[in-house]
């Protein structure tokens, strides 16, 4: 929570945070499972035109996976291009979900293929 306060204090002083600063705050909030502060930080990023990167995406996937929030992860996947590392983070989190259907995994694989992310037959 303190890290988010610092971001807003910086903004008040005319010092605008960059993606690295925001990712640091996101990771701190995610590690503390403080979803409200994660949402505030993501909103600040949107408001300031700071575009999420691979680190942002992986942090959010890790947080929401640890909470069993598959619908939120679906929204993250729909929002745009994920890197191969993002998909690795996603696939490593999937076993945590009870009742996960193979069709859901296939959907993620289809998104991955459509984005041209290479894989091996072992992955697919």
Which residue matches tokens 């690295």? Answer: 20
Tell me what the mean pLDDT of segment 119-123 comes to.
50
pLDDT for the residue numbered 42: 95
| Res. 84: pLDDT tops 50 | yes
Q: Output the CA–CA distances (angstroms, integers) from residue 13 to 1, 8, 25, 66, in the order listed.
A: 19, 9, 18, 35
Q: What DSSP assignment string belongs to 9-46?
A: HHHHTT----HHHHHHHHHHHHHTT-HHHHHHHHHHHH
Which residue matches tokens 């939120």? Answer: 72
More confident residue, 108 or 9: 9
Query: How far apart (Å, rounded) are the C-alpha atoms in residues 26 and 64?
Result: 12
Tell me what the mean pLDDT of segment 7-33 comes to.
93
Q: What is the pLDDT of residues 21-66, one digit of tens each?
A: 999 999 999 999 999 999 999 999 999 999 999 899 889 988 988 8
pTM of the model: 0.79
Q: Output the CA–CA distances (angstroms, integers) from residue 120 to 94, 109, 113, 117, 124, in the order listed.
A: 19, 12, 11, 10, 7
């Amino acid at each position: 929570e303190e890290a988010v306060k610092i971001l807003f204090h910086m903004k008040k002083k005319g010092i605008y945070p960059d993606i690295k600063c925001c990712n640091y705050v996101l990771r701190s909030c995610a590690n503390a499972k403080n979803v409200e502060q994660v949402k505030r930080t993501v909103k600040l990023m949107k408001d300031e035109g700071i575009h999420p990167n691979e680190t942002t995406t992986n942090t959010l996937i890790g947080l929401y996976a640890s909470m069993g929030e598959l619908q939120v992860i679906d929204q993250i996947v729909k929002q745009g291009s994920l890197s191969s590392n993002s998909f690795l983070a996603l696939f490593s989190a999937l076993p945590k979900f009870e009742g996960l259907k193979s069709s859901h995994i296939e959907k993620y694989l289809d998104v991955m293929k459509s984005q041209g992310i290479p894989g091996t037959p072992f992955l697919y």
